Structure 1
Amino acid sequence: MIPQVVEKAMSMLCNYLDIKHSNIDSMYLYGSVALGDYIEGSSDIDFIATLRNSPAMSDIETISAAHKKLEDEFPQIDIMGAYLLASDIGKPQDEISSLITYYNKQVHTDGFGSDINPITWWILKNHGIKVYGSTQSLHYETGIKPLAKYVIENLNTYWVSWINRLDKHLTVNNLSDQEVTRQSDEAVEWCALGMLRQLYTLKEHDIKSKVEAGYYGITIIPQQWHELIYEAINIKRRLPERYYLSNEKRLTDLVALLRYIHLEANRAFDESIAGWEK
């Protein structure tokens, strides 16, 4: 079931595009909405829209106007997505012929901010929700090997850079003021749940939402980090309960947890590789 605010927002966007006789053939939701874990005020609305023909300037203007109208009506929501030809669904970004993105409340014609990757295609194929237009076949391949390889590369680059930044942050900043507490909340939620999603995919060969990955983490992560994971879930769900009184202690534990997840994720990937090669 689509949350009411998402249904209203997407209905407005699609109706406006339809009224303008746009080139849009279909609109699908993926991400947290499709995984059944959308949290208002915390989650993004992620979409993939297909085009009948390569976009003209008039299409870009129509898409821009539709999103402007949507943002004026629903300023509190965060929405991001991509417009591409139906024939390009499931392809790597560098093989897509025409790509328009809506990211950071702006339309981009150069693919900036796109979320085109194996995770997106996996969720779209297995959980995508059509909210407008024609039904797409979605017959593209989504094997676990390319998904796992993408996840481990992302883990060993993007997420390792987060670990290193947090580790440095502990040594150079005063961690007592209110702004740092806010930043610490964001880091705990983003990093703990984000990396647990990577670990889940590498161990279980599937994809879960951030909150679900957090609860999964409770079942496999040593107890010393359970309160930190519960705190990350509470932050994501916009609940007030906290377990730490010290930002320094919380961030120290966070770095240790992330380093543990990093090691476990690489171990899970290596075990998968060994199994595939048998």
Structure 2
Amino acid sequence: MGKLYTNSSDFNRKYHFYNSEKLSFGDFYFNFNPVTWWMLKNNGINILGPDPKDFEFDIQPQQLVSYVLKNMNAYWANRIKTAENSINDLVAMPTNQIDYEIEWTVLGLLRQFFTLKEYDIVSKLDAGEYGLTQIPYEWHSIIEEAMNIRKGIKASIFRSDWERIDKTIRFSKYLITHCNKMIEKNLT
């Protein structure tokens, strides 16, 4: 493989891709984005052929930051707004679904926070550990809750599901606002 890139004329082509333990042929796979290219360029492992660091494609930190911030302000902000408007429905969900939502949201946003600050990508648990060193103490309980869920620890730190959901929503809004201010400050 000498070059690895996609021209805009290739965006509508069908090709093979592997996802969810299944080899498929079809439309453009949604997960080719700056995070994918960053991971390949900076963390790719050579099995056969040239080192991924030598591939002829360019991914700059600003492309990664721009993509992550856009995702945070679109997907995550909308998800949090929906959760905030339907908190009673969320509380009525089974505990395992609430656990999933807390883990997905808290650790997912912390991964983005890490990427915006460090220009790198880490696991959910590593993002949680990082958050505990960077985020104000008032949010540590929901970060620890999300990490416990990820680790399979069933005992909750909170007294009720409502309290966990409320703290997740408030933390998410805080972190999105914090990240936007952080990026804005870096631009000035």
Query: Fold-level match, TM-score > 0.5?
Result: yes
Of 132, 138, 144, the match for 1:230: 144
Q: How far did residue 105 of structure 1 move?
A: 4.7
Aligned-residue Cα RMSD (Å) equals: 2.4
User: Is the CA contact (8 Å cut-off) linking 2:107 and 2:128 kept in structure 1?
Assistant: yes
Gapped runs of 5+ residues in structure 2?
A: none
Q: Percent identity?
A: 30
- Structure 2 residue aligned with 1:151: 68
**Per the alignment, do residues 174 and 270 of structure 1 end up closer, same or farther by CA in structure 2, a change over 3 Å counting?**
closer
Q: Which amino acid aligns with 2:86?
A: H
Q: Determine helix, strand or coil for the equivalent of 2:57.
A: coil
User: Which one is further off, 244-253 or 202-211?
Assistant: 202-211
The question of whether the paired residues in 2 share the 8 Å contact of 1:92 and 1:116 is answered with: no
- Computing the radius of gyration from Cα coordinates, the structure with the larger value is 1
Tell me whether 1:175 sits opposite 2:62 in the alignment: no
Structure 1's 93 and 223: CA in aligned 2 closer, same or farther, altered over 3 A? farther
SS of corresponding position for 1:129: coil
1:125 and 1:190 map into 2 onto residues whose CA distance is 26
Summarize the Cα distance change of 1:135–1:183 in structure 2 as closer, same or farther, 3 Å threshold: same
Q: Which amino acid aligns with 2:122?
A: K
Give the strand-richer structure, 1 or 2.
Answer: 1
Q: 1:92 to 1:148 in 2, by over 3 A?
A: farther
Q: Structure 1 pair 257/209, CA: closer, same or farther in 2 (3 Å)?
A: same
Q: Which has the higher helix share?
A: 2
* Higher RCO structure (Cα 8 Å, ≥6 apart): 2
The number of residue pairs the alignment matches comes to: 184
Hey, what does 2:49 align to over in structure 1? 134
TM-score with structure 2 length normalisation?
0.85
- State yes or no: 1:239 paired with 2:156: no
How far did residue 197 of structure 1 move? Answer: 1.2
Structure 2 partner of 1:27: none
Query: Are residues 1:116 and 2:32 paired?
Result: yes
Deviations 1:99-156 (A, max 9, x none): 42233454241124x31111111111111123x4323432422211111111111111
